[in-house]
Chains A and B, each alone.
Chain A
Amino acid sequence: MNPFPIAWASLRRNRFTAILFIAIVALTVALGIAISAQERALRLGSARAADKFDLIVAAPGSHNDVLFSTVYLDPSAVPLLDPAITRLLLEDDQADFVAPIGFGDAIGDAPVVGTTAAFVEHLSGGLAEGRVFTALDEAVVGALSPHAVGDHLEVSHGHGGATGTDADAAADAIAAGAAVPGGDGDHPTITITGRMQPTGTPWDRAVVVPIEYNWSAHGLGTGHRPGDSHIGPPFDPDSLPGLPAVVVKPVDVSAAYGLRGAYRTPQSTAFFPAEVLVELYALLGDATAIMSALTLAAQALVVAAILAGIVAILDLQRRQFAVLRALGASRGFVFATVWVYVAALIVTGAIAGLLLGWGVAAIVSELLANQTGVAMRAEIGSSEFRLVGALVALGLVLASLPAVLIYRRPVVDGLR
């Protein structure tokens, strides 16, 4: 039995309808694939971005706000951590290093973030170029920053609400919604001394300065005794200002859980980025599940609508099938011909949709990565293949409906 040439002839006879059907199936499948692949890219990208931020300690409040400010450099006004807690952390032998994080300035669109040289090394895994900062007016840039090593840059105060060095500055910046020139302190020109390796985080676009620059620019001292011009730890316990967040690298896993427990106090909170992300993903996952269900329902409807169209088209060809029966074709042969015809439309559409969906997700990921700085790559994984597989399986089963309808027709009706 060879139903293929006749199915192929039917496809060619109605080639424009066939192309239209394939396009509709492809677009519907692409929608489902794009949502699924994009959601995973977002999840993996954001999780990878938070990898190097082992434990974050901040003032009690929203973990989400602190996480977004610190990891994704998406500024929001967060309460400041009591310097007494920072002091305790700096003395804690469970911590490998303790990196204060400070915001509030910008160079053009790029945020200026203050921290320690140790955290820069940890985040970047060694610099790609140059050396890390060793003086207050030196800085390193992220891998994607347009600035070159050796550039001298002017820093402006404020970053569309990015702040945290003090509550007033936060209020200022949020009210202004843009850069507030000057601020409370002095913003010396900085010199770029190095470039970090790509981190897949928004830090790739940032200019990273010593935390002392951040503090002194906002009139908060340097964290050291007057006259002490060295950069980084040890800090003077009595000169520390409040901080939006501190990143702590624990010495080992048990230390991580120990520190997380110890700094959950009325004055502070401590959390692993992963635990916050898991909650966000659960929300994202719920939304994705709903969207997936909707797209699956849309796909089923599209397949049903197409089957109805196919029945109409095949009805126009009922004479051909009657002739085949008169020539001796079994009902099985007619069934096989129609089934191959419908299956070809659905399988071609599904494969085209898989590729199209992957393309759309890749473009969206690229746009989103450009917008957020979080590196993401849309990939087609087993869940996308399962989605397409489910639709194809459904289509192949449903394809037998028109096939049965056609072969049940009395032959003589088609011949008259």
Chain B
Amino acid sequence: MPGLPLAASGLRLAFAGEGIIDLPELTLAPGTLTALAGPSGSGKSTLLYLLSGLLRPDAGSVTWAGQDLARLGESQRDRWRRRHAGFIFQNFHLIEELSPLDNVLVPVWFDHVSAKAARPRAIALLDQLEVPQRRAHVALLSRGEQQRVAIARALIGDPAVIFADEPTASLDAAAGQTVIAALRDLALHQGRTVLVATHDAALRAQAGTTVLLEHGRTRQSEATA
């Protein structure tokens, strides 16, 4: 699936005692990998939640291909994420009691579709990402393998947009490189819109654009690669 373009403007959100997001303009193009950088507390994660519809801005618009998430209700935003977005977290957030395959299938269970139809795709994704034991407990995998399971989970619905929150922060350098390569591939070769909050210099170096945040405002937006 080709990526979706983002045009956000006049984005403002005051968040509980921690500061405020104040972003006059942000655009993302399909087929790009964008890094969201900045010191801790600069609002990277909060901006990610705003752009994915997990939070609603106090003012402004978050328009993905003409659809403004800021105007949608909670269940419509849930549906938008289900249709168009994949999420990757720093600590993977897999369900340890389930197998890698079942973890990949979790988003399929949200919908009224049969999980059977999605199984071959889940298996193919795990193969592509070179996750070894398909049937083993997910907790038995290495951290790098676990994050790759999480990436497969993000991709099971073939989303146009990928959000990743510090996807390499809890991995060693080698495992981090694999994840960075996968994210790059999703953007540059598969044409998805990939937005990554990160303070990993190696990841920033591979991103086409880095948006540098400070106290919730854009300090700098630069092309890096």
Distance to closest chain B CB from A257 (angstroms): 69
Q: Could you jot down 24 A-B contacts, CB within 8 Å?
A: A2-B109, A5-B102, A5-B109, A6-B95, A8-B97, A9-B95, A9-B98, A12-B97, A320-B93, A323-B87, A325-B54, A326-B52, A326-B87, A327-B86, A327-B107, A327-B110, A328-B79, A328-B82, A328-B110, A329-B107, A330-B82, A412-B46, A415-B45, A415-B54
Contact between B110 and A330, CB atoms less than 8 A apart: yes
Q: CA–CA, A12 to B139, complex, Å?
A: 14
List 16 additional contacts besides A1-B111, A6-B95, A328-B83; criterion CB under 8 Å.
A5-B98, A9-B97, A323-B87, A324-B110, A325-B54, A326-B81, A327-B107, A327-B110, A327-B153, A328-B107, A329-B107, A330-B78, A330-B79, A331-B74, A333-B110, A415-B45
3 closest residue pairs by CB, A with B? A328-B82, A9-B97, A328-B81
Q: CA–CA, A12 to B138, complex, Å?
A: 14
Q: CA–CA, A5 to B96, complex, Å?
A: 12
Contact between B97 and A325, CB atoms less than 8 A apart: no
B112 within 8 A of A: yes
**Partner among A9, A12, A327 whose Cβ is within 8 Å of the Cβ of B81:** A327
Chain B residues near A329: list those with CB within 8 A: 78, 82, 107, 110
A411 within 8 A of B: yes
Interface residue total, chain A, C-beta cutoff 8 A = 25
Contact between A331 and B109, CB atoms less than 8 A apart: no
A12-70 interface (Cβ within 8 A of B): 12-13
Contact between B54 and A411, CB atoms less than 8 A apart: yes
Closest Cβ neighbor of A2 among chain B residues: B109
B64 within 8 A of A: no
**Partner among B82, B109, B153 whose Cβ is within 8 Å of the Cβ of A3:** B109
Most B C-beta atoms less than 10 A away, residue of A324, A328, A411: A328
Residues of A within 8 A of B (CB): 1-3, 5-6, 8-9, 12-13, 319-320, 323-331, 333, 411-412, 415-416
User: Knowing A328-B157, A330-B79 touch, does A1 contact B112 (C-beta < 8 A)?
Assistant: yes
B28 within 8 A of A: no
Contact between A324 and B111, CB atoms less than 8 A apart: no
Q: CA–CA, A325 to B110, complex, Å?
A: 10
Chain B residues near A13: list those with CB within 8 A: 96-97
Q: CA–CA, A271 to B114, complex, Å?
A: 71
B29 within 8 A of A: no
User: Knowing A6-B95, A6-B106, A415-B54 touch, does A327 contact B75 (C-beta < 8 A)?
Assistant: no
B47-73 interface (Cβ within 8 A of A): 49, 52, 54-55
Number of A-B contacts (CB under 8 A): 79
Chain A interface SS verdict (over half): helix
Distance to closest chain A CB from B154 (angstroms): 8
Q: CA–CA, A329 to B85, complex, Å?
A: 12
| Interface bin, chain B | 20 to 34
Distance to closest chain A CB from B85 (angstroms): 7
Chain B residues near A331: list those with CB within 8 A: 74-75, 78
Chain B residues near A1: list those with CB within 8 A: 109-112
Distance to closest chain A CB from B160 (angstroms): 13
Closest Cβ neighbor of B91 among chain A residues: A319
Q: CA–CA, A1 to B113, complex, Å?
A: 7
Distance to closest chain A CB from B156 (angstroms): 9
Most A C-beta atoms less than 10 A away, residue of B85, B109, B115: B109
B137-167 interface (Cβ within 8 A of A): 153-154, 157
Most A C-beta atoms less than 10 A away, residue of B55, B111, B154: B111
Contact between B49 and A327, CB atoms less than 8 A apart: no
Q: CA–CA, A320 to B89, complex, Å?
A: 12
Contact between B78 and A323, CB atoms less than 8 A apart: no
Closest Cβ neighbor of A15 among chain B residues: B97
Chain B residues near A330: list those with CB within 8 A: 75, 78-79, 82, 110
User: Knowing A327-B87, A328-B157, A330-B75 touch, does A412 contact B111 (C-beta < 8 A)?
Assistant: no
Distance to closest chain B CB from A211 (angstroms): 76
Q: CA–CA, A375 to B23, complex, Å?
A: 84
Closest Cβ neighbor of B165 among chain A residues: A415
Q: CA–CA, A331 to B157, complex, Å?
A: 19
B87-124 interface (Cβ within 8 A of A): 87, 89, 93, 95-98, 102, 106-107, 109-112, 115
**Partner among B45, B87, B115 whose Cβ is within 8 Å of the Cβ of A2:** B115
Q: CA–CA, A349 to B163, complex, Å?
A: 42
Q: CA–CA, A2 to B98, complex, Å?
A: 14
Q: CA–CA, A325 to B106, complex, Å?
A: 11
Q: CA–CA, A2 to B95, complex, Å?
A: 15
Distance to closest chain B CB from A275 (angstroms): 63
User: Knowing A326-B81, A412-B55 touch, does A320 contact B107 (C-beta < 8 A)?
Assistant: no
Distance to closest chain B CB from A381 (angstroms): 40
Chain A residues near B111: list those with CB within 8 A: 1
Most B C-beta atoms less than 10 A away, residue of A320, A323, A327, A411: A327
Q: CA–CA, A209 to B180, complex, Å?
A: 100
Q: CA–CA, A412 to B54, complex, Å?
A: 7
Q: CA–CA, A110 to B83, complex, Å?
A: 82
Contact between B78 and A328, CB atoms less than 8 A apart: yes
Contact between A324 and B106, CB atoms less than 8 A apart: yes
Closest Cβ neighbor of B52 among chain A residues: A326
Q: CA–CA, A171 to B154, complex, Å?
A: 92
Distance to closest chain B CB from A151 (angstroms): 68
Q: CA–CA, A12 to B95, complex, Å?
A: 11
Closest Cβ neighbor of A326 among chain B residues: B87
